[in-house]
């Protein structure tokens, strides 16, 4: 009897367990069926995903709903339904590129097609110390969102602009009143959504700023979780380390970033390693320091960079010509010779655009320094300046703390504004193999997002905003040249911005879907 009771107990238990297992399986199957029945907006099938972290690639289906990544499905055999299906088999899928340092006026030229064409979905504006001259940026942000920019925009407040708005202007040392006004303006800008402060210490009026001023502003940024980006005081080989140390002192209060890192006139890998060692030692001491970089050996900026401080605003240039013309001519003659001669200055705007300073001097039959004084002046043009060494710059590029930027705009006559990100893939990944593709992608996505504080972009993960590229790396072409700089990059088959297809093949959508991003300061 006891044995029979035990038998019944075991049999009953087995039946109950089997029923429970069957019930659980039915629940799971129903849940799976429900998941498969969800209709997504876009299904990207069998993409080779490089996620922006630097990790190795994997194959997955990526499903988008609204403006976000809804699901990453590594089991590519599973069925999902979507309004649009993209077959990405054999193609790479990455986050949209983030340009850490760009220029442009989103109200005047909102499309930013040159950026989209090279895979850029977010640009950082307000660089080199110059941002829109408005006491509060909220109205500007509203205006930009109203015109719907072609890319996302992350704003920074410019130190030069803060000086002008505060009344400090060209003061060597701002008064306490003006300093307090600058701090308030900066705090307000960050409350409005700016990601930090930029300085342009090679330009007026920023070049007048001393350490106390810069440190006070860095404290405002640091207290709000922001970043200080700096076009440093001097990038020349003899002074670049002094300029870096000045920025690193601000790094005691806020993370800092070297804008468009370079060593003008410097040469060779060893010189680059000396600069990188200085940054490594700062990190070891607790300073958060990064840098951005464009892959060209010619810089581009206003021709004023060639002129001495005493010939630029707020000084009267005409008075300088009357009283110090010979001194100015000698200064410019020596400056241009130091910068590899008049052949190494390519005029990018004004009546002489597309010609070197040497060609203009020959055409006008006058010395190049006289051309600068009489025909161009300190604010009459911008130019490209061939002053960098390729081996040195490539060494900087490979450093893990260096991200990619264009320092370009829609109108600039320099290939970096149209080709930078394509050039990194075409030349430095495919041809020279200086960078593995996952590392190059990290430098263009995850690294800038993490550094700048863009928390919902730059990495492929569920819940992130759907800024996505689909392309074959072998098909990427820069196309822009110094002779024809405004040629769109090619090869990015799909550019998806905020969950919408902004570019397909060679066609850029007429519907702009970018927006101004806003930093959370707390």
> What DSSP letter does each residue of 386-450 carry, written as one string?
E---HHHHHHHHHSTTEEE-----SS-SSTHHHHHHHHIIIIIIIIS--S-HHHHHHHHTHHHHH
In the CATH scheme, what is the homologous superfamily, with its name and number, of domain 95-297+388-517?
A: Metal-dependent hydrolases (3.20.20.140)
pLDDT at position 160 is 98
Share of the chain above pLDDT 70, in %: 93
**pLDDT by residue (tens digit) across 168-198?**
999 999 999 999 999 999 999 999 999 999 9
Q: How confident is the model at residue 8 (pLDDT cuts 50, 70, 90)?
A: very low
Domain ranges of the chain: 95-297+388-517, 301-385
Q: How confident is the model at residue 521 (pLDDT cuts 50, 70, 90)?
A: low
Specify the 3-state DSSP secondary structure of 288.
coil
* pTM beyond cutoff 0.75: yes
Q: Are 60 and 76 in contact (CB under 8 A)?
A: yes
Candidate from 12-21, 226-235, 272-281, 411-420 with smallest mean pLDDT: 12-21
Q: Distance between CA 240 and CA 233 in Å, rounded?
A: 8
**pLDDT by residue (tens digit) across 93-114?**
999 999 999 999 999 999 999 9
Q: Distance between CA 393 and CA 387 in Å, rounded?
A: 11
């Amino acid at each position: 009897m006891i044995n029979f009771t035990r038998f019944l107990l075991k049999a009953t238990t087995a039946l109950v367990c089997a029923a429970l297992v069957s019930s659980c399986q039915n629940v799971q199957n129903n849940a799976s069926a429900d998941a498969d029945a969800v209709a997504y907006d876009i299904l990207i099938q069998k993409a080779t995903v490089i996620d922006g972290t630097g990790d190795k690639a994997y194959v997955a289906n990526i499903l988008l709903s609204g403006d976000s990544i809804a699901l990453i499905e590594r089991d590519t055999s599973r069925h999902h339904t979507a309004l649009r299906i993209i077959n990405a088999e054999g193609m790479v899928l990455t986050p949209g590129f983030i340009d850490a340092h760009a220029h442009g006026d989103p109200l005047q030229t909102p499309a930013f097609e040159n950026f989209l064409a090279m895979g850029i979905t977010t640009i950082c504006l307000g660089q080199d110390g110059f941002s829109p001259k408005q006491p509060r940026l909220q109205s500007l942000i509203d205006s930009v969102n109203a015109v719907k920019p072609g890319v996302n925009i992350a704003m920074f407040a410019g130190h030069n602009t803060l000086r002008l708005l505060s009344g400090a202007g060209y003061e060597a040392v701002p008064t306490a009143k003006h300093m307090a006004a600058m701090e308030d303006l900066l705090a307000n800008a960050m409350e409005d959504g700016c990601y930090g402060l930029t300085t342009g210490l090679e330009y007026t009026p920023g070049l007048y700023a001393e350490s106390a001023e810069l440190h006070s502003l860095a404290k405002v940024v640091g207290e709000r979780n922001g970043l200080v980006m700096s076009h440093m005081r001097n990038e020349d080989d003899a002074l670049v380390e002094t300029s870096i140390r000045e920025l690193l002192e601000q790094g005691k209060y806020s993370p800092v970033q070297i804008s468009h890192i370079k060593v003008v006139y410097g040469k060779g890998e060893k010189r680059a390693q000396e600069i990188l060692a200085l940054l490594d030692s700062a990190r070891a001491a607790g300073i958060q320091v990064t840098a951005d970089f464009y892959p060209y050996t010619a810089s581009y900026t206003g021709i004023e960079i060639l002129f001495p401080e005493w010939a630029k605003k707020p000084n009267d240039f005409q008075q300088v010509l009357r009283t110090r013309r010979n001194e100015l001519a000698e200064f410019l003659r020596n400056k241009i010779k130091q910068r590899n001669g008049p052949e190494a200055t390519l005029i990018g705007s004004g009546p002489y655009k597309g010609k070197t300073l040497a060609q203009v001097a020959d055409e006008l039959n006058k010395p190049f320094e006289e051309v600068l004084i009489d025909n161009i002046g300190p604010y009459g043009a911008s130019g490209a300046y061939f002053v960098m060494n390729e081996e040195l710059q490539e060494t900087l590029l490979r450093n893990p703390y260096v991200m990619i930027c264009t320092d370009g705009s829609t109108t600039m006559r320099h290939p970096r504004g149209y080709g930078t990100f394509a050039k990194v893939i075409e030349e430095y990944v495919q041809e020279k193999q200086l960078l593995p593709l996952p590392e190059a992608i990290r430098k263009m996505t995850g690294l800038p997002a993490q550094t700048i504080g863009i928390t919902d972009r730059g990495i492929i993960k569920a819940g992130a905003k759907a800024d996505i590229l689909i392309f074959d790396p072998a098909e990427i072409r820069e196309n822009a040249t110094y002779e024809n700089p405004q040629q769109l990059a090619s090869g990015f088959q799909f550019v998806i911005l905020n969950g919408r297809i902004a570019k397909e093949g060679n066609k850029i959508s007429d519907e702009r879907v970018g927006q101004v991003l806003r930093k959370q300061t707390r």
